[in-house]
Structure 1
Amino acid sequence: MALAKNISISLDEFLKMREESDSILEYIDGVVYMSPSPSTKHQRISSRLQIKMGIYLEGKTCEVFSAPYDIELKKDKLDGTKIVVPDLSIICDKSGFTETKYIGVPSLIVEILSQSNQSHDLITKLNLYMKYGVQEYWIINPMLESVTIYTLNDDAMYEQLDMKTSIGVVKSKVLEGFTLDLKEIF
């Protein structure tokens, strides 16, 4: 997943690399990660979920953003630069918007696994999002047709709120009243 092992580059070098590339690149404390091109199934799931979330959020203060959209994670007392490109982000705090990205912490992030990036989403990003205080993290596995939802507990640690495979309905804690029938996205 990382472009080069044990090589750290500056943020300026990363930004230059991004200008010269059509790939989806992420930057976590000097390490560059490249996401694979999404599969057709991945894109269908992302589109269906974005539509469902967008309809739910109609008239509410939160908004849904889809990849490629940069999220620069920022939180007081945490150093380093982390620029991630989640598949879907629900952003409720509008103060972090710039012309080209969001700086801050989304309320909810959805990542749709690809065969080649599973550990990045299941380990690296899970721990990163937990550390920065993303209130809810959805991991969608198209290969297993499963949805796993993690929410922050009182100790600022993720705990599994829900998990369904193939059939069933999952429910968000952050988006009160939002439910998703797995048949609607798979």
Structure 2
Amino acid sequence: MRPYRNDVMSIDEYFQIRENSEALLEYIDGTVYMSPSPSTKHQRISSRLQIKFGNFLEGGSCELFSAPYDIELKNENMEGSKIIIPDISIICDKGGFTDARYVGVPSLIVEILSPSNQSHDLITKLNLYMNYGVKEYWVVNPMLNAITVYALDDENMYEQYDMQINKGHVVSKLFAGFQVDLASIGLSDGSRK
């Protein structure tokens, strides 16, 4: 993930650029970041995770949204504007929907790493999501065939709740009973493409 421009811009400038661009652009405190185009493996993993989460959530009150869908993070304890485009968002609080985006804090976010966005997702977004109160953050690393699940603890800090590499099932703290077999979504020793 690299900055779109090196200067600070206003939220209005960001929206003006977005209207005239097909690129996936995120806005965090005056900096606009451009997401790389996803790889084939990224898309396969994303699609398979969407199906698994979607089937689990069917009939419940939470909804799944996949990229590209804008989330404007909003929390009364946080300042500044942040507009992100997570790979997968699960939203349980329906009060923040607008015609254009969701304004609020998703309950769960999944980001699938690309070689160029690892530090952005592992540092910037992890801290951003923790500070805004995203209850669970899944980091999928296709290069290592790994999933790490971070969940908020009693002090509203992320703890590593689960992590699997190459095989096994990763489980959700937030959604009791939800688990994903790494091989079933293309994360195993034999799926390095």
TM range (shorter): over 0.9
> How big is each residue's C-alpha offset from its partner over 1:55-95, in whole Å with a ceiling of 9 and x where there is no partner?
00000000110000000000012110000000000000000
Distance across 2 between alignment mates of 1:77 and 1:38: 33
Partner of 1:12: 12
Partner of 1:25: 25
Give how far 1:4 is off: 2.5
> How big is each residue's C-alpha offset from its partner over 1:17-64, in whole Å with a ceiling of 9 and x where there is no partner?
011111000000110000000001000000000001000000000011
1:2 aligns with 2:3: yes
* Dislocated runs of 4+, deviation >3 Å: none
TM-score by structure 2 length?
0.95
- Superposed CA RMSD in Å reads 0.6
- Residue 99 of structure 2 aligns with an amino acid whose one-letter code is E
- Residue 2 of structure 1 aligns with an amino acid whose one-letter code is P
- Residue 107 of structure 2 aligns with an amino acid whose one-letter code is S
Give how far 1:100 is off: 1.1
Listed as ranges, the gaps of 5+ residues in structure 1 are: none
For 1:49, what is the secondary structure of its paired residue?
Answer: helix
Correspondence 1:70-81 to 2 at 5 A: 70-81=70-81
Correspondence 1:90-105 to 2 at 5 A: 90-105=90-105
Give how far 1:3 is off: 1.8
Distance across 1 between alignment mates of 2:38 and 2:183: 21
Listed as ranges, the gaps of 5+ residues in structure 2 are: 187-193
1:172 aligns with 2:169: no
- Residue 3 of structure 1 aligns with an amino acid whose one-letter code is Y
Distance across 1 between alignment mates of 2:86 and 2:118: 13
For 1:128, what is the secondary structure of its paired residue?
Answer: helix
Distance across 1 between alignment mates of 2:107 and 2:10: 28
Distance across 1 between alignment mates of 2:63 and 2:56: 10
1:63 aligns with 2:63: yes
Correspondence 1:124-135 to 2 at 5 A: 124-135=124-135
Partner of 2:137: 137
Partner of 1:117: 117
- Residue 14 of structure 2 aligns with an amino acid whose one-letter code is F
Distance across 2 between alignment mates of 1:161 and 1:174: 10
Partner of 1:84: 84
For this pair of structures, how many residues does the alignment match? Answer: 185
For 2:9, what is the secondary structure of its paired residue?
Answer: coil
Partner of 1:38: 38
For 1:53, what is the secondary structure of its paired residue?
Answer: helix
Q: Percent identity?
A: 64
Distance across 2 between alignment mates of 1:159 and 1:120: 19
For 1:33, what is the secondary structure of its paired residue?
Answer: strand
